[in-house]
C-alpha cells in the first residue's frame, strides 16, 4: 500500500504538471489564458501557502513548489493576454482588479484552511478543485469554443485530480479527519465534473472541426 500511495502521489504531480504545461503552451500560442481567473487566484493562493507558508513534508512539498512556479507562468498569460477577454472592463482597471482578486483570495483560503481544516490543505484543495472544474466548464460555454483549452488539458486535469483523490484514500497514515462524507463528496464531485469537462471539450472541438469542414456534427445530422 505505501508503494501504491507513492505512485499515486507521483501521478498527481505528473498529470497536473503536464496540465500546467499545456495551459501555458496553449495560452501563449493562442494569445489568451486557459485557467479561469478566479480559479487561478485560489490556486495561486493555495500553492503559495502550502509551498512556502505551511509546507507539508516530503514529496508533496517539492510538488507544491513546482506547481507554484507553473502558476506564475499561467499568471503571465493572464496579465499578458487577459484584457482582450474582458472587453467591458476598462484597460486601466484590469491589473488593479486582478491584484484585488489575488489579495482577497489568499486570506480567504487561509481562513478556510485554519477554520475548517486545522491549517492543513486537503479540504481547501479539493473544494477549490471542484469549483475550478465548474469554472472550466463555464469558461468553455462563455467563449463558445475551446480557445485556450484542449482535450489534453481536460484529460490531464482529470487524471491528476483522480490520482490526488486516490492518494488520500490509500494513505497508510491517513488522517481520520478526512474519512467523512464531505471529503467523499468532493472526491466524487471532482471526478464527475472533470468527466463532464472532458466530454464537453471533446464535443465542442468535434463540432468546431465539423463546421470548418462544412460537415454537420454527428449529433446534428438528420437523415432526409
Residue 71 in any domain: the answer is yes
Residue 145 in any domain: the answer is yes
When divided into structural domains, the chain yields a total of 1
pLDDT surpassing 70 at residue 150: yes
Tell me the pLDDT tens digit for each residue of 172-187. Answer: 777 788 889 999 999 9
Tell me the pLDDT tens digit for each residue of 15-59. Answer: 999 999 999 999 999 999 999 999 999 999 999 999 999 998 888
Among 100, 81, 97, CA closest to 147: 81
Residue 21 in any domain: the answer is yes
Residue 138 in any domain: the answer is yes
Residue 223 in any domain: the answer is no
Residue 222 in any domain: the answer is no
Q: Residue 160 sits in which domain range?
A: 2-217
Q: What is the DSSP string of 48-115?
A: HIIIIIS--STHHHHHHHHHHHHHHHHHHHHHHHGGGG-TTS-HHHHHHHHHHHHHHHHHHHHHHHHH
* Whether pTM exceeds 0.95: no
pLDDT surpassing 70 at residue 160: yes
Residue 224 in any domain: the answer is no
Amino acid at each position: 500500500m505505501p508503494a501504491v500511495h507513492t505512485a499515486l502521489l507521483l501521478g498527481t504531480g505528473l498529470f497536473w504538471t503536464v496540465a500546467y504545461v499545456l495551459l501555458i503552451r496553449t495560452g501563449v500560442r493562442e494569445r489568451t489564458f486557459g485557467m479561469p481567473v478566479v480559479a487561478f487566484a485560489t490556486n495561486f493562493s493555495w500553492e503559495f501557502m502550502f509551498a512556502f507558508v505551511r509546507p507539508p513534508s516530503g514529496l508533496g512539498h517539492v510538488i507544491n513548489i513546482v506547481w507554484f512556479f507553473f502558476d506564475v507562468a499561467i499568471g503571465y498569460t493572464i496579465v499578458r493576454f487577459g484584457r482582450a477577454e474582458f472587453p467591458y472592463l476598462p484597460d486601466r482597471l484590469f491589473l488593479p482588479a486582478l491584484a484585488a482578486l489575488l489579495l482577497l483570495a489568499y486570506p480567504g483560503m487561509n481562513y478556510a484552511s485554519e477554520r475548517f481544516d486545522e491549517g492543513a490543505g486537503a479540504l481547501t484543495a479539493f473544494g477549490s478543485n471542484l469549483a475550478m472544474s465548474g469554472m472550466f466548464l463555464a469558461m468553455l460555454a462563455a467563449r463558445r469554443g475551446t480557445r485556450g483549452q484542449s482535450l489534453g488539458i481536460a484529460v490531464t486535469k482529470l487524471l491528476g485530480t483522480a490520482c490526488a483523490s486516490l492518494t488520500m484514500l490509500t494513505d497508510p497514515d491517513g488522517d481520520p479527519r478526512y474519512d467523512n462524507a464531505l471529503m467523499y463528496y468532493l472526491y466524487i464531485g471532482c471526478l464527475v465534473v472533470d468527466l463532464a469537462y472532458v466530454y464537453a471539450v471533446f464535443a465542442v472541438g468535434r463540432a468546431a472541426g465539423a463546421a470548418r469542414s462544412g460537415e454537420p456534427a454527428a449529433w446534428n445530422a438528420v437523415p432526409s
